[in-house]
Chain A
Amino acid sequence: MNARFLPYLLILPVTLFLCLFFLYPFVLVAQQAFSTGAGFTLDNFRDVSSHWKFPISLQNTLILAAAVVPVQLALALLMATMVNKMKKGRDIVLYIWTIPLGISDLAAGIIWLAIFDQSGFLNSMLNAVGATDKPFNLLSYQTPGVVFLAIARAEIWRATAIMLVILVAGIGLIPKEYYEAAEVFGASPWKRFLKVTLPLLRPSLQTALVLRVILAFEIFAVVSALGGTLFPVLMGEVYTYQFELLNGGAAAAIALIILAISIASTLVILRALRVPKGASI
C-alpha cells in the first residue's frame, strides 16, 4: 500500500459516517427550510421571524449565553488551577466536579425544579426553619428575573464541567519550566497566571469556548423544565413548530437561524483567540 494514501484511507470511515449522519440530514433540513411545497422560497423564514415570540426568544437565547458562558469560563479556570495545584486527591475532586456531566440536561432541569418549586426543597426548608409561614411561588410570570436566574444557575451547575475538563488537560500541557523561570524572576501567583497560564492556554480556551457557546445556543430542556412557557428560547420554538404545530419547514428555518448564529460566534471566538503561527507549544 502506498503510504501516501494511508491517511485518507484512515479518515474514510469517519468521513462516510459524517456524510451519512450529518451532511445528508443537514441538506434535507436546509431543503425543507427553503421550500413550502413548490420551489425555492423564503416564506418559512418570513413566517417564523414575523411571529411575535421570535424576537423575545432570540433575545432570551443571546442574553442567556452572554450571562452563562463568562461565569462558566471564570469558574472553570478557577477550578482548573485549583485542581492543578493539588498534590493529593486530585482525581477524586475531578470526578466529583464532573458528575453533572453525566446527568442529562432535562434531569438537571428537573432537579433544580424540585428545589425552586412552590412545594420544593427551598420552600420546605424556609418553612421548616420558620423563615416563611407559607410557601411562595418563585417561578411565576410575575418574577421573570428569578426564572432567568434559576435557569442560568442550573445551566452553570450542569455544564461548567465540560470546560473544566478541557482546561485541566490544557494546563497539564504547559511545561513547568515557564513557571520556574517566572518564579526565579519573582512573579506573584496572579502574575504567573496572567502572563504564563492564560496565554499558553489559548488553544484550550478556544476549544472550550466554541463548544460551550454553541451548546448555549441549543439550550432547551433546562429552560423547558424550569420556565415552561415563561422563558421562550429559539430551540423551544423549533420543538413547538415541529411537534406541536407539525410545521417541519418552520422548524427547519429556525434550526438554520441557530446554526447561523453558532457559526458567526465560532468565527468571532476563533479570530479573537487565534494563536499566532510559530507561537504554539
Chain B
Amino acid sequence: MSQRLAPLSVGYRAMETAARLGWILIFVTFGSSQVLEAWQTGLLVVGGLLAAGLYQVVYWQRFEYELTADTFDIRSGVFSRRTREIPLRRVQNVDLQRNVVQRALGLTEVRLETAGGSDTEAQLRFVTETEAEQLRAEISRLKRGAAETPAGEPATEPEAELLFAVTPRELFVLGIVSVDLRLLSLVTVVLPILVPSVGAGMGPVQDPLVAFALSAPMAAAVIIVVAALISGLYSVTNYWGFELRRAEDELRYDRGLFQRFSGTIPLAKVQALSLTENALARRLGYASLSVETAGYGPGDASGSQSAVPIAERDRVVSLARSVEPFGPVEFERPPKRARLRYVVRYTVVALFVVAAAYAANRFTGFTFAWYVAFALLPLAPVGAHLKWRNLGYALLEDHFVARGGFWSRETRIVPYYRVQTVIESATVFQRRRDLATLVVDTAGSGGLTGSDARALDIDADRAAELRDVVEERLQRALDDARAERRRRRLVELQRTETGGFGGDVSPTDD
C-alpha cells in the first residue's frame, strides 16, 4: 500500500519556500532604486505564499512511496512525473535527519543512499518520526532477508549492542582537536573589510600602511580565536550525544544537539575504514574513525559522516577491529631516499618564499625584514622527516593498510575483498630515485579529497610486487566468498527440502 508524506510537511516546506522568497524580496527592495509601494509588496508576499502553498499541496498529493518486499518505490513530480524503484539489496545507508524546527513539528527527513552517483537516491521530505523509525526498522529487516521472519508478524528488532557513547570529556577534547584551521581562509575575505575600520578607530594615524601594520595582527588574532571557537562549537553540537550501536549486521548512530542525525551503516557494505588523528589529537592520545561505504565517504559534506568522532586511540582501534577484524599492524616505511625527495621539495618551496619576500621588499614600497624568510630553510629537513616518519603501509592477512600525513595523519584499512583497481605509478622524479606509488582504489572513496589507500614513495620493485600481491589476494578472497556462498545456498536448499521454515522462498532466488 502506497503512503504519503506527513501532512504537516506541506506547511513546513511552504514556509521554507516563503522564507527563501522573503530573502529575494529583501534583496529586490533594498537593491533596486525604485521602491515598491506598500500594497505592491503586500501583493507579492501574499501571491508568493499562495503559490508556494499550492505547489506544496500538489507536491504532497503527487508524492507516493511504498516499501515492497524487495524494492522501495517512489512516484513523484509536479510538472514532470517520475517513478523510481530502488532494490533494497542495493541500499547502502539509511539516514534520518531532523533540525530544531522539524523536531518541534515531529517531522523527519529520510534518505536512502545507494552506491554510485553523488545524489541521494531517495529523499522523503518529510515523514513523521514514528514513520521514519518504522521505515528504517522495516528496511533493515527486509534487507536481512524477510524469509527468516514470517510475514504478518511484527518485526522483531535484533538486540542492539551499544558500542560507543561519547562522554562529556571526549566532547570537550573533540571541540579542542577539531579547531579547523581551514576556516582561516575566511581571514582573507574578512580582513580587507575589517582592517580599514579598525585602523580608523585607532585615532590619528595618517599613514594607511602603518595603520595596516598595527591593525592586521590584531584583527588576525581575533579572527583566529573566533574561527577556532566556531569550528570547535560546531563539532561539539554536531556530535552531541553521539551513540554507536551494533545490531546484528549493521551499525546505527545517533548524534546532534540542534540538528539530530541518525542512520544505519550496513556492515556488509563497508568498503574501507579510516582512522584519523591530527597532530593535536595524537599528542592527547585520541583518534577518530570513519566507516566508508560506497554511498558516501568520510569527510562528506552532506553531514552524514558516520563514524566515531573521537575516543582514546586504543578504543577506536578495537572498535575498528569489531567492524573489520584486522590483525596487528606493523608498518613498513618507505626507503630513506624518499625522505631526501621531501627535503629537496620543501627546500625549493622555502627558496621560492624567500625569493617572493625579497621581490616584494625590493619592488614594492612595502619594506620589511625579508631575510626572516630564510628561517624556513632549516625547517625543510624537519618537515621532510616528519612527513616521512608518518608514512607507512602494511600487508595483512586480509587487509591492506596505508598511512600518511603529518598534520592530520590518516590510516586507511582496506579489505582485499573490496579492492576495485590497483594502480602503480612513478613520476619522472620518483624514477630518478627508483621509487613508486601504489594506490589501492575502492568504491566510494571520496574522489575529490583523494583519500585512497596509497603507499607513497615506496621502492619501485616492491611496488610492482605489491601490485601483484594485492590482486592475487583479491582473487583469493573472491574465491573464498564464492565457496562460502555456495555452501550457504546448499544449506538453505537442504532446509527447504526437509520442510523447514522459509519454504515459500525460492532457494535459488539470489
Q: Do A and B bind each other?
A: no
Footprint of B on A, CB under 8 Å? Answer: none
Footprint of A on B, CB under 8 Å? Answer: none
